[in-house]
Structure 1
């Protein structure tokens, strides 16, 4: 495909520094999973019959063409295959979608192409196929490094399988990240510290570390409501978070976002596009996008989540969008604040002022600073402190 040759440079410079500009990303949602995890509220679906992957490639191609019509001339700096379980896709499916992206936009020479993979669906030949198709970064859903918790989380792999997947990924791709979930039921600080230390030993250049959240509509929500699932309280969760930040920083993987840690220069370029409030196309069932409208205003687009319905919509009129909303400048300012304060680099207040049409609330800022929740990084940049990150929604609400 057209993007393979340029990003071979990543083999030589795998830790190329992420650009300061947000860039333009393409998100591809593959909604199918082998099983639904009891904590998951993502748009994922289990199907017992084979998926017609060529038909889905054709639909992705049509939706990408429509997205490119609405955002011509963009330079794609990142492509992200999320899910669901994208590692259930055939390499030819991934390659076909990447070809469609390259057919409609210019591709940056150092484009980052990430694919999420579950250890249970990892095969050497499949990984080699993804690499040949153009994937240069893989994100593994490891989630835990002990078998008992993997079973509780409903994962289909064990630790041995996860370790083999990590080794194979490091041998195949220039860049690797993997996810862990912490603040799990009955987890102590000492247990998590030991597990995290082992994870850092295994890590390449990036780790995503998420506290377990109990989402409405999931089996875990019902178990907690029935008193059958006990998760760490707020005080213990804060202690776990603070230890996580300290240990990763001391080991060379500082947090650049609330839940994401990287060797400096190895941050997820695609996710930085979100957090730096850039534009991105979202294709596939349940995908979201932010594209520039004809009026210059940003549009928030959300796709139909049910795969079969999305497929028919795209085959009928080239789009699976359920909603396509023009955001006011005030709404854009709110989103910029919410996304940007997740980052350790914070936000550029001059950019926020252009959207909001006013300055940040100085009284609220002073109060939050007095309580150690935010800090200035210069005359026009502000960020949340580690303490502020723990209550970020409240910080954003006070500043907005």
Structure 2
């Protein structure tokens, strides 16, 4: 990742319905003015481009929400504008998240013509009962049909599955995962169901309407996932993402390697030139800000060295490759970011590996990421924040 490289994230906030497990910035609206949204996103993009001259665009990611609901003409206009503002690398990766219902799958040919060359498909399960529990708007049969259509139109296809649902067993998940590994994609995103605060599932679980899978059973499923994907040549390169060599999501690697990215659209986060940016979350507020200010930024603030280094450590340890802790400290002008004595204890216990100043989680350590971060991260005194 070179110093002049840049990733672009575009958030499309609209969905047909709100999934009960989702805590992303997504909204259901009866009608969407595609032209107004195209103009607002283009203006937001131009604002970022003005602040980030001289960069090379390595990836564009359309996330949501459900960006496959976007008019392909809007997608095409945003790609054209982005690659006009910034010269693109020859192998630019342009990803769009899509749902597998038939209406959206019918747009795949037009989205490919618009310039999308990678699709991330939200299959979530091959089991109709599980899809009903997750309140997905497609059947398993529709999911398989959409995957076949996507593979016909896009060079690179990934799909998501959610596991560790209530009552999930090793036999049930291993059968589904074996099927997933046989379908010919070279990237999979495999997420354990987590009950996020503020979601409908959180309310339902609190009422006792279902019982989440216990942590020991979930850990066993994670270990099974690691073993099966590794044996199939698609090991985890990040906590929940698996790929054949060279098929990793280059856009997401920019996040995890703590590179700069511009984020546009409602609720989008960005990180550029040592500053974090956050757009207005509510679609109507984003549109109003665009008319008033020429962009959708709600918050913008500098990241101090300690904040940035801490974020880089959190992100870097999600990767199988890990992070060079001393190089990261040097990058932000800090004497260090980890307690090496604690790192070495966790190496001895089999939770971390260490190669000089590069550290990485082991398979056992990936189950305890949050705990390990709390153990090894250096805590700076408040007065240290003023240094430099």
TM range (shorter): over 0.9
Higher relative contact order (CA 8 A, sep 6+): 1
Give the structure 2 partner of residue 320 of structure 1: 296
Deviations 1:168-221 (A, max 9, x none): 000000000000000001111110000010011114110000000001111110
Give the structure 2 partner of residue 64 of structure 1: 45
Alpha-carbon distance between aligned partners in 1 of 2:108 and 2:291, rounded to the nearest angstrom:
30
The verdict on how the C-alpha distance between 1:278 and 1:121 changes in structure 2, with shifts beyond 3 A counting, is farther
The verdict on how the C-alpha distance between 1:56 and 1:174 changes in structure 2, with shifts beyond 3 A counting, is same
Report whether the alignment pairs 1:390 with 2:372.
Answer: no
Give the structure 2 partner of residue 301 of structure 1: 277
Moved more, 348-357 or 270-279: 348-357
2:318 aligned residue (337, 342, 356): 342
Report the TM-score, using the length of structure 2 for normalisation. Answer: 0.94
Give the structure 2 partner of residue 40 of structure 1: 22
Give the drift of 1:287: 0.3
Give the drift of 1:366: 1.7
Structure 1: gaps of 5 or more residues: 1-18, 293-297
Give the drift of 1:131: 0.7
* Number of residue-to-residue matches in the alignment: 375
The verdict on how the C-alpha distance between 1:327 and 1:138 changes in structure 2, with shifts beyond 3 A counting, is same
Report whether the alignment pairs 1:29 with 2:5.
Answer: no
Alpha-carbon distance between aligned partners in 1 of 2:17 and 2:303, rounded to the nearest angstrom:
36
Alpha-carbon distance between aligned partners in 2 of 1:98 and 1:216, rounded to the nearest angstrom:
35
Give the drift of 1:23: 3.9
- 1:235-250 matches, cutoff 5 A: 235-250=216-231
Contact 2:4 2:55 in 1 (8 A): no
- 1:361-372 matches, cutoff 5 A: 361-372=339-350
Report whether the alignment pairs 1:153 with 2:129.
Answer: no
The verdict on how the C-alpha distance between 1:145 and 1:23 changes in structure 2, with shifts beyond 3 A counting, is farther
The verdict on how the C-alpha distance between 1:74 and 1:366 changes in structure 2, with shifts beyond 3 A counting, is same
Alpha-carbon distance between aligned partners in 1 of 2:4 and 2:25, rounded to the nearest angstrom:
26
SS of the residue 2:49 aligns to: helix
Contact 1:205 1:263 in 2 (8 A): yes
Report the TM-score, using the length of structure 1 for normalisation. Answer: 0.91
Give the drift of 1:380: 2.6
Structure 2: gaps of 5 or more residues: 378-388
Alpha-carbon distance between aligned partners in 1 of 2:17 and 2:106, rounded to the nearest angstrom:
23
SS of the residue 2:18 aligns to: coil
